[in-house]
Structure 1
């Protein structure tokens, strides 16, 4: 897994085994959490067309749909892959930050 891009305090974009994953920084009241989804074909096409601006919108949509709420109707509910990929993502961010500090 590797970091492709990020927006401070909003999201990370990862590549892993040929797939793209968006890890959105969300909160529900005072509770902060991240919600990582694998981009589907439509989302990948929109990212190709819209770049970072599309990812900003997607992260915003994930956050405001509150996919972790019990009674949510979020279209992102059930797509969270954070549990499976947290360790890989944490290591990828660590390596990415170390690499961006080298000049």
Structure 2
């Protein structure tokens, strides 16, 4: 797993085994949590065409759905949290070198 792109304090785009996942920070007052989704083929194609701007819009949609309790996170592997945190740490380490 590796981080491909980031909008600080908003979202990370991760790649795992050829699949793309958008991990979004959702905040509402004192509460914050993450919402993660695998990009479907159409979303991945739009990202390839439109770049970061598309992901920013998609993250806003995900954030709104999560706050409206219309978000249901897809099943992720049991070790997802551990591997995604390690990928983010590695990303930040490389960016600060």
Interval containing the TM-score (normalised by the shorter chain): 0.7 to 0.9
Residues 80 and 59 (structure 1), Cα distance of their counterparts in 2 relative to 1, 3 Å cut: farther
Unaligned runs of at least 5 residues, structure 2: none
Unaligned runs of at least 5 residues, structure 1: none
Alignment correspondent of 1:99: 94
Alignment correspondent of 1:40: 40
Matches within 5 A, 1:65-76: 65-66=65-66, 69=69, 72=70, 74=71
- The separation in 1 between residues aligned to 2:67 and 2:39, in whole angstroms, is 16
Report the aligned-residue RMSD.
2.1
Normalized against structure 1, the TM-score is what? 0.83
Q: Which segments of structure 1 move beyond 3 Å, counting only runs of 4 or more?
A: 80-84
**How many residues of Structure 1 are paired with residues of Structure 2 in the alignment?**
97
* Partner SS, residue 34 of structure 2: strand
Alignment correspondent of 2:76: 81
Distance apart, 1:27 and its partner CA: 2.2
